[in-house]
Homo-oligomer: A and B are copies of this chain.
Amino acid sequence: MSDDSSVARVTTLVRRLASGLAPGSQLPSTRELARTSGVGPVTVQRAVATLVAEGRIETRPGIGNFVSAARLPRRRDVSWQAAALGPPRPGVPEQPGSGLRGLPDDTIALHSGYPLPLLQAGPLVATAIARAAKDPAAARPAPSTGMAPLRHLIAAELAGGAPQSDIASDDVLVTSGGQAALVAAFRGLARPGDTVVMESPTFWGAIAAAAEAGLTIVPVASRPDGPDPAELEQAVAVHRARVVYAQPTWANPTGTTWSPAVRSAVLDIISSHRAFLVEDDWARDLSLDGQSPGPLISRDTDGHVVHIRSLTKSTTPSLRVAGLVARGPAMHRIRTSRWAADLYVSPVLQLAAAEVLAAPAWPRHLSHLRRELVTRRDALIAAVSEHAPLAELPQVPRGGLSLWLRLPPGADAVTVAARCLQDGVAVSAGDEWFPAEPDGPHLRLGFAAAPPDQFERAARVIGRVLDSA
């Protein structure tokens, strides 16, 4: 019998022995233990050393080994950490945004940013994942930039819409989801203390990612056609911002799509100010009755636009995979930040994502998803309009997963959301979507995360809360 398994055997034996004795009891001597277990004293000593390290035995030299005295479970004293840690990093709340919060099953989940299971590409993804798990490539670490088939598909998606585009698979970096891509972009393109210009309101995840990267956010108001280019230019110039973050198509939460004029103007601004635009194309697969004007990166050849395309919301929450597209030294910086943050993304997830994107069933799924989302959007609009008329819908969203509602002046969105939750309806209070001060009380209501037959009840609850606010 090997020495190693003898030690293990004796360790288990002595541990059991110690458990059976009262605290403070003396254990049999080393010689005695050696004799009864049929091993040498060195083996016994190795076992004892392990149990000392575990805190079960105390050795009193010259006397013997004793079962550790029982102690009252010692209260943790972590108070020293307060002074040691110092001030927290500003700007990142302790909890993720409400879109990600789990709630009791009987809550109507209008807060969630993720589609219901029946709207997901569940079977397609499950098959792809199962196949990927048996692929030989799943047995090797993936390249830190991502696996070639997936990078190629992401580049092809972009290039297919614009032949002038010169996006190749080398311009694509795979990350473990959109949030990771945001942080990689901010950390690669800017330094802590730098400024990033964002629309207000905007995606709370982007706000947190910027804070995590140590950036200061300068907000520019979001208007129905996009930001006012003059305001945006001023913000970039005054604060010497190198980075602008935006969702130019069916933005989360407003649903706004930038007009052609705003698109051209913003491209001119970032070009003349030698800045970067981080374009978050989160809703690419989530068109409703709009047609996407196409990503801005297709009109940019000099690497001003960094494009992010996440797969999670149109596939399943398990496919934590996104593509980031960038060119030039900026891409080197972003790649460097990524490998240091995460080495590589699971090959199983990448292989599965590539299979899904290339599957004939994929465009069918997207068409099905669109039809379902349109129906649900309209149902929620009707329910709110009838039962919660005090909540205004400034803009019908032509893509995305939610409605952005304006509440009556004087209402407090956080209070409204709390009262709705008490009555079993979860909504997203608008405040967390603003990098700075809200421009008024709002709610975001998702129409993809709760079954439509709950919309009427939910709207009634919201209506009652608003009436009494």
A binding-site residues for B, Cβ under 8 Å: 3-4, 7-8, 11, 46, 49-50, 52-56, 68, 71, 73-74, 76-78, 80-86, 88-89, 92-96, 100, 102, 114, 117, 120, 122, 125-126, 129-130, 133-134, 136, 138-144, 161-164, 166, 176-177, 179-180, 183, 187, 189, 191-192, 205, 208-209, 211-212, 214, 242, 260, 263, 274-276, 289, 291, 293-294, 298-299, 301-303, 316-320, 327-330, 332-333, 335-337, 339-349
Contact = CB atoms under 8 A, between A and B. Distances in A.
B81 A303 contact: yes
Given A54-B294, A126-B130, 9 more contacts: A49-B293, A50-B291, A55-B298, A89-B337, A96-B339, A102-B143, A129-B129, A180-B342, A319-B346
A343 B100 contact: yes
A211 B76 contact: no
24 contacts: A8-B291, A49-B260, A52-B260, A53-B299, A54-B163, A54-B164, A54-B298, A73-B166, A76-B166, A77-B301, A78-B303, A78-B329, A85-B189, A85-B330, A94-B332, A100-B344, A114-B140, A126-B134, A142-B317, A187-B212, A212-B340, A317-B346, A317-B347, A318-B348
A263 B332 CA distance: 40
A126 B122 contact: no
Report which residue of A74, A93, A139, A177 has the largest number of chain B beta carbons within 10 angstroms of its beta carbon.
A139
A393 B466 CA distance: 75
Contacts of A275: 84
A343 B177 CA distance: 9
A328 B78 contact: yes
Contacts of A83: 274
A173 to B, nearest CB: 13
A8 B291 CA distance: 8
A265 to B, nearest CB: 14
Contacts of A318: 133, 138-139, 346-349
A161 to B, nearest CB: 6
A336 B46 CA distance: 41
A340 B209 contact: yes
A84 B274 contact: yes
Contacts of A291: 4, 7-8, 11, 46, 50
Contacts of A180: 341-342
A262 to B, nearest CB: 12
Copies, count: 2
Contact of A141 (B4, B84, B317): B317
B77 A302 contact: yes
Nearest to A367: B5
A169 to B, nearest CB: 16
Nearest to A100: B141
Nearest to A134: B126
Contacts of A205: 343
Contacts of A161: 54
Contact of A303 (B76, B96, B211): B76
Contacts of A162: 54-56
Contacts of A260: 49, 52-53
A303 to B, nearest CB: 4
A144 B98 CA distance: 12
Given A294-B54, A298-B54, A274 B209 contact: no
**Closest 5 interchain pairs by CB?**
A78-B328, A130-B130, A212-B340, A117-B139, A126-B133
A320 B345 CA distance: 7
Given A94-B332, A301-B74, A346 B344 contact: no
Contacts of A102: 140, 143
Contact of A130 (B129, B303, B328): B129
A81 to B, nearest CB: 5
Contacts of A4: 289, 291
Contacts of A76: 166, 301-303, 327-328
B346 A144 contact: no
A314 to B, nearest CB: 14
Contact of A164 (B11, B55, B212, B346): B55
A335 B3 CA distance: 42
Nearest to A329: B81
